[in-house]
Amino acid sequence: MARICGICPVSHLITSAKACDALLAVRIPPAAEKLRRLITLAQVVQSHALSLFHLSSPDLLLGMDADPTKSNLFGVLEVEPQLARNGIALRKFGQQIIERLGGKRIHPAWVVPGGVSDPLSQQDRDAILAETPETLKITQRSMQWLKSVVEKFANDVDSFGSFPSLFMGIVKENGNLAFYDGKLCFVDATGATVADGLEADNYQKFLGEKVEPWSYLKSAYYIPKGFPDGMYRVGPLARLNIAQSCGTPLADAELQAFRRAYGMTTLSSFHYHHARLIEILYCIERMEELLNDSEILSTHVRAIAKPNALEGIGIAEAPRGTLLHHYKIDEQGLIRWANLIIATGQNNLAMNKSVLQVAQQYIHGEKITHGMLNRVEAVIRAYDPCLSCSTHATGQMALKVQLIGADGSVLDEVAR
């Protein structure tokens, strides 16, 4: 399962292993659970760093009307090289933890049904802990930078995927931010709870998936509200809109500031970036807590069992949002059926609506401008979509935008 994607393989491994835990009907050892939490958090840090620093920082630093040939990491390096270095440092931090735990950074086979294959050594624990203070400082410096640039985008924020929708994610029993396990929760645009305490095992009762002829992505929706009114968003912004708090001091202080600035429920997808950075802060703090728990060094890290159930469902929060794996096996333990609900598919309706909103705001006359096209790219980037696992397409997908007149004629067409 991990080989589906090179960006968040750990999330697929974790969710797959949890589905397999259900097939084995085992309760994994406490140390294994802590180690799985640790690698999940490391995955979030490295993936969020890629999204924010390498993909979206050019939009934020150079502006939405920048020359598209300059709007990339090299453009950032010319203007603010330390920002690019921060991104690389954070991504390297997350990748190295994955490598230390999983033996390799891209497709570790360390997370297994029943737990993990090997315990954490004290040497590796100490090495990771030694890096966390500097990593926290880098994140806090980056937070200051992000807050300073967001103010420049006041005109964009309100047309950047800013609309009422539902938000979904998993939360802990106390309502706090969760990545590894918890119950599913939906809130609406006012922050009111629409449904909570939802078990992933019952997902087919409330999560629908619609196939549209014009998209490789399935469009997920909340069944009680129907399609497309059941549109919901997942990922960093959704998680922070749902959570009571993060549960760690630095991240909670930033979450409070975030809510003071944008309200208790933030509707603009522009703020996915800010939410990502708050989550990085939380992940590093939480990793420190886990690593300082002596139980994490326990050598009892795997429960062994044969298949005890013919159907298993696993759920976790991937960097981009809620990820669900559902398997059915035969008596020999061979998988006969599988369904994966991917974060990018769950954001599909919201991404489409965001593109429409940008177009309505920035299309004037009969020509598509660079600024408009940049914003279309940027608003999609805010969701950090990952097409490797979320589509059924093959090959490289291009960005192609057509401006179609009221009579159906193509007025302009731009491709990148």
Partner 1 sequence: MTDALVIAYGNPLRGDDGAAWIVADQLSSMVRDSVHVLRVHQLSPELADLAHDKKLVIFVDASADEQADGVRCTPVAAKPRTASFWHHIDPEEILALSLALYAKSPQGFLITLCGEQFNHGFALSPSIENAIPKAVTEIRTLLTSNGFLLRSEVSASRI
| 9 sits near partner 1 (criterion: CB under 8 A) | yes
**Strand 218-222 relative to strand 232-233, pairing:** unpaired
Q: Widest CA span of the chain, in angstroms?
A: 69
Structure tokens at 298: 């326990």
| 77 sits near partner 1 (criterion: CB under 8 A) | yes
| 72 sits near partner 1 (criterion: CB under 8 A) | yes
Residue with Cβ nearer partner 1 (73 or 403): 73
- Least separation in angstroms between residue 406's CB and partner 1 is 30
Instruction: Report the alpha-carbon distance of residue 404 to residue 389 in Å, rounded.
Output: 31
323 membership: H or E segment, kind and range: strand 321-329
- Cβ atoms 350, 343 nearer than 8 A: no
| 414 sits near partner 1 (criterion: CB under 8 A) | no
Residue with Cβ nearer partner 1 (20 or 83): 83
| 5 sits near partner 1 (criterion: CB under 8 A) | yes
| 337 sits near partner 1 (criterion: CB under 8 A) | no
| 68 sits near partner 1 (criterion: CB under 8 A) | yes
| 245 sits near partner 1 (criterion: CB under 8 A) | no
- Least separation in angstroms between residue 245's CB and partner 1 is 31
- Cβ atoms 275, 236 nearer than 8 A: yes
| CA separation, residue 220 to residues 161, 209, 326 (Å) | 17, 4, 15
| 416 sits near partner 1 (criterion: CB under 8 A) | yes
| CA separation, residue 117 to residues 14, 26, 181, 297, 354 (Å) | 13, 15, 20, 13, 43
| 73 sits near partner 1 (criterion: CB under 8 A) | yes
Residue with Cβ nearer partner 1 (398 or 406): 398
Q: By CB under 8 A, what part of segment 19-58 binds partner 1?
A: 50, 54-55, 58
- Only one of the segments 63-71, 113-121, 195-203, 305-313 lies at the binding site for partner 1 (rule: CB under 8 A); that segment is 63-71
Instruction: Report the alpha-carbon distance of residue 287 to residue 41 in Å, rounded.
Output: 7
- Least separation in angstroms between residue 6's CB and partner 1 is 2
Q: Which amino acid is at 198?
A: L
Site string for partner 1, 104-123 (x = CB under 8 A): xxxx----------------
DSSP-assigned letter for residue 369:
-
- Cβ atoms 165, 231 nearer than 8 A: yes
**1 CA to centre of own chain:** 17
Structure tokens at 355: 């593109």
CA-nearest of 280, 273, 272, 98 to 177 is 280
Q: Which amino acid is at 81?
A: P
- Least separation in angstroms between residue 74's CB and partner 1 is 4
Choose which of 27, 65, 85, 404 interacts with partner 1 (CB under 8 A): 85
Instruction: Report the alpha-carbon distance of residue 322 to residue 342 in Å, rounded.
Output: 7
The count of chain residues that interact with partner 1, using the rule CB under 8 A, is 37
- Only one of the segments 168-176, 189-197, 312-320, 391-399 lies at the binding site for partner 1 (rule: CB under 8 A); that segment is 391-399
- Tell me which residues touch partner 1 (CB under 8 A): 3-7, 9, 50, 54-55, 58, 68-69, 71-74, 77, 81, 84-85, 87-88, 91-92, 95, 104-107, 377, 381, 386, 388, 394, 396, 399, 416
